[in-house]
Structure 1
Amino acid sequence: TTSTRALAVDTNGNASITSVIRHKQYYPQPGWVEHDPLELVRNIESSLESVDNIAAVGIDNQGESCLAWHSDTLEPVSQVIVWQDNRTGETIERLERDGVGEEVMNRAGLPLDSYFSASKLAWIVNSIPEARRLLKKGKLKLGTTDAYFLDRLAGVFKTDITTASRTSLMNLETGQWDERLCELFGVPMSALPAIVPTTGLLGTVASRGKQVPITASVVDQQASLYGHGCRDVGDVKITFGTGAFALTVTGHKAIRAPDQGLLPTIGWQHAGDQAVYALDGGVYSAGSAIEWAHKLGLFEDYSTLNSFDQPAAIDRDLVFVPALSGLACPHWDRLASGLWIGLSQDTNRSSMMQSILEGIALRTAEVIRTMSSLTEVGHEISIDGGVSVNPYFCKFLSDCLGKSLAVKSFPEITAIGTAQLAGADVILVDRDETRIQRYTPSAVREDRVKKFSNAVAKSMHWRAAS
């Protein structure tokens, strides 16, 4: 979402980051988030040039972010509308009132939410005159960023099945675009790319004067799932970044639980094989809540958050609900709002930060507990990213879950998963047990879970109430 990175794996299995290029974030209106598609393409090209003698390339992408472009010139017709963007909130509310939510869930396995690509793509068609003009001429292409990258770099109009499963336009059972879903959202199916497996020969890209095969394309969280070594039913990973993203492997079966707020999705599909499904649950605000607190001046140095002198904030009746962008699984309430409850004259900055870490952990535990009610979840959960470097957070989360945590300290697990899918069978850092920190639970505190649930209930539908 914030940068383009290249990870190179040599023939001995040594992995190294060869390029990190940050790109600009655009916020043209409240609730809107955009990227410049040409900047993203330039950054990918620069990343490819940072490595010599490339044998194969894998590309992971930011999922639901999408755009439109001219089919002949490949010039973008829109900015990339980022997954965080909520400009189509009113459209989603209208579809809810029209009563199509259940049908969308049955076909796509996803709830009605502006997070997914479908309403964003419809917005482009309805709101950008050039897009409508090109559509009438049969010259419009619509897709997620992976499709644009493949078209610009390799001259092929394709999207992989994991990314397509995040659009709300793909039928989860058939793995193909669903005519009825496209009709409901108002997205012309003729403008969408072909859906292909995650691995295989997807095209070739120029690098240092030669054509290099692209052998994997995958959405970022599924790449992370693979990079964590999750292959068997019940394997779970959680990645902490801006938000928190949990995935568990469910095998060749899609588990549907719309009332629980968990989403069936495609984990990966190797060329010639059946698709492997996963169950997806997310927390919108994790690292972003900590960054928000930092901007407010609640702390200066991240190391001060590694331990606290006082007992858990929630045990002192101070609770923070990190609903700064609404609530995802299992609530799916975009109208929920961030909440502190239990503030008093004794509350200081340290206690507020302690409650923020606990709130992120408790929201994450809500997701995993919901998963556990539907499918097998292993005794150890693999986590990485952002707040996973914080010892207080990890121990508190382990206690909330009643499960051991394996914290992967090596960076770029998403890139490692992409490289593995692209054909890098052996990556040495992935096998280094000395770089895995483990936490074991002391005792599950149901009173904490109950107290947090009460606070979450108070945060829900707040914007509607106000």
Structure 2
Amino acid sequence: MKVLAIDQGTTGSKAFTLDEAGHFAKVAGFEHAQHYPQAGWVEHDAEELLAHVTACIAAAGPVDAIGIDNQGETLVAWDAGTGKPIHRAIVWQDDRTKDVTERLKAEGAEDLTLARAGLPLDPYFSASKMRWIIDHVDGAKALLQQGRLRIATSDAFFLDRLTGEYATDVTTASRTSLMSLDTLAWDDDLLKLFGVPREVLPEIRDTTGPFGVHERLPVTASLVDQQAALFGHGCARAGDAKITFGTGAFALGIAGAARPPRNASGLAATVAWRVGGKGADFALDGAVYNAASAINWGRGIGLFSQYDEINSFDRPSALSRGLCFVPALSGLACPHWDRNAAGLWIGLGLDTTKADMMQAMLEGIALRAAEVMQAMAGMLPLAATISIDGGLANNPYFAGFLANALNRTVTVASSTELTALGTARMAMRGLGAGDLPPLPSPQRIHRPDHPLTDDLRGRFAEAVTRARNWRS
């Protein structure tokens, strides 16, 4: 048995094969353009994304099945008759509907979204942008009247064009704010709240499909990239958790077979996966909007040149020296959900160096992740060890500081591609595989040697408070 996993992410698409002996190999990779038509707007060319997905399939060679993971909340609208997009894909980072979600909050509608979908009101999730497309994109209303308008997360666009199946899976549907976590179906009250017609939406299926056939190859898995990473980390029991440090930082913890209760922690309830017609497994989700995107921004403005320059620092932590960075370059997600927050350095002096600023930036990303995990620990019997992956996980200073910020052991996955690995393993599960190949052992283990004091945590919390609501 050999499967192809396509990891269609925010900055690019990558493809890997996995066989039953555990051989995991990259076969293709492509970057795609980022479009910023206005401040706060982020778009992708949906046809470019699809072209890269099909190129990944062509590069794979003989395989038995395909699995595809997607960006989660990124949205595409297209003509069902021609298959052509009518607008660029609107990316999960996009905040063009901030005024809509703020108005709905003021009207008390967040009670409904939390009770049914498990999600706070934020433009991060797809529903408000679906309505924006109907109201603002040329031709959308005409296609709706003709019964030809399709608006869905990017996975459904890929599947429609590759296999002719207009479908999504429960993990992706759970990121829209339109699916009830109790019924795992589109919810009439949520559809009414956001003004999204049911007929534009895809069918919701299990994470393991089936999702149709592309050139004789079955698509046996489709899921959100972060849920794929959770599976790739080997998380299976309640309390198992991972953090992926990619463009943003995304924490997921297994909650079990019962949906998490409504909570005031700022965490989102979501579906981890549903396999083989069995009951769904649920998870708690917490996002930090800016992780690697902040680091890349720092590099772009000249704070460092080579990544190995920020692997270690000669001075004590920037936090202990009174220098904080709040990575709110796109606002603050969990647990604050404040799109008006702004990135902030505080504690700068005439003696502050570029290295100090980057040290504070790494620490700020770790501290924001620690805020998310602290909220999660209040709801789950969180495991003593947290598994991390993504590009930042390979930075020794960052991983060590994160262990101290969490006061938990941090294991760094030996593969930087656990999202694709999880997708491949889920595709094998969709083929009916019983025993999956063993997961690789961690590359490094970081144990807390200087856990942060309450005073230091309070200092960072004060910096976050100062960054909040700045843009309004």
TM superposition score category, shorter chain reference: over 0.9
Match of 2:457 among 439, 445, 449: 449
Identity score, percent: 48
- Paired AA for residue 399 in structure 1: N
- What do residues 391-444 of structure 1 show as CA deviations (whole Å, max 9, x unaligned)? 11111110111110110131211011011111166776x6332x5200001142
Considering only aligned residues, what root-mean-square deviation do their CA atoms show, in Å? 1.3
SS of corresponding position for 1:129: coil
Say whether 1:49 aligns with 2:54: no
Aligned to 1:117: 126
Is the CA contact (8 Å cut-off) linking 2:30 and 2:52 kept in structure 1?
yes
SS of corresponding position for 1:17: strand
Match of 1:440 among 411, 434, 447: 447
Match of 2:165 among 146, 156, 173: 156
State the distance in 2 between where 1:337 and 1:24 align: 25
Is the CA contact (8 Å cut-off) linking 2:115 and 2:262 kept in structure 1?
no
Aligned to 2:420: 415
- What do residues 150-196 of structure 1 show as CA deviations (whole Å, max 9, x unaligned)? 11000011100000000001111110001111111111111100101
SS of corresponding position for 2:471: helix
State the distance in 2 between where 1:54 and 1:308 align: 46
Say whether 1:238 aligns with 2:247: no
Is the CA contact (8 Å cut-off) linking 1:41 and 1:149 kept in structure 2?
yes
- What do residues 269-308 of structure 1 show as CA deviations (whole Å, max 9, x unaligned)? 0022000000001111111111111111111221111111
Match of 1:22 among 27, 31, 36: 31
SS of corresponding position for 1:271: coil
Cα distance, 1:129 vs structure 2: 3.0
Aligned to 1:194: 203
Aligned to 1:135: 144
Cα distance, 1:127 vs structure 2: 0.7
Match of 2:135 among 123, 126, 129: 126
State the distance in 2 between where 1:51 and 1:292 align: 33
Say whether 1:298 aligns with 2:303: yes
Cα distance, 1:128 vs structure 2: 1.5
Is the CA contact (8 Å cut-off) linking 1:151 and 1:157 kept in structure 2?
yes
State the distance in 2 between where 1:286 and 1:257 align: 27
State the distance in 1 between where 2:381 and 2:210 align: 34
Cα distance, 1:99 vs structure 2: 2.1
- Paired AA for residue 441 in structure 1: P
Aligned to 2:389: 384
Aligned to 1:367: 372
Aligned to 2:221: 216
SS of corresponding position for 2:212: strand
SS of corresponding position for 1:201: coil
Cα distance, 1:248 vs structure 2: 0.3
- Paired AA for residue 107 in structure 2: D
Is the CA contact (8 Å cut-off) linking 2:414 and 2:440 kept in structure 1?
no
Cα distance, 1:257 vs structure 2: 4.5
State the distance in 1 between where 2:348 and 2:115 align: 43
- Paired AA for residue 439 in structure 1: H
State the distance in 2 between where 1:333 and 1:39 align: 32
SS of corresponding position for 1:462: coil
Is the CA contact (8 Å cut-off) linking 2:92 and 2:126 kept in structure 1?
yes
SS of corresponding position for 1:249: strand
Say whether 1:331 aligns with 2:336: yes
State the distance in 2 between where 1:11 and 1:389 align: 27
1:26-175 equivalences in 2 (<5 Å): 26-175=35-184
- What do residues 204-238 of structure 1 show as CA deviations (whole Å, max 9, x unaligned)? 011xxxx1111111010000000000011110000
- Paired AA for residue 270 in structure 1: V
Match of 1:274 among 271, 275, 279: 279
Is the CA contact (8 Å cut-off) linking 2:428 and 2:436 kept in structure 1?
no
State the distance in 1 between where 2:180 and 2:119 align: 10
State the distance in 2 between where 1:21 and 1:162 align: 25
State the distance in 1 between where 2:332 and 2:296 align: 18
TM value normalised by structure 2: 0.95
Cα distance, 1:102 vs structure 2: 1.2
State the distance in 1 between where 2:456 and 2:265 align: 21
SS of corresponding position for 1:13: coil
With 87-96 and 314-323 compared, the bigger mean Cα shift is at 87-96
Runs of 4+ deviating beyond 4 Å: 424-428
State the distance in 1 between where 2:209 and 2:100 align: 37
Is the CA contact (8 Å cut-off) linking 2:209 and 2:222 kept in structure 1?
no
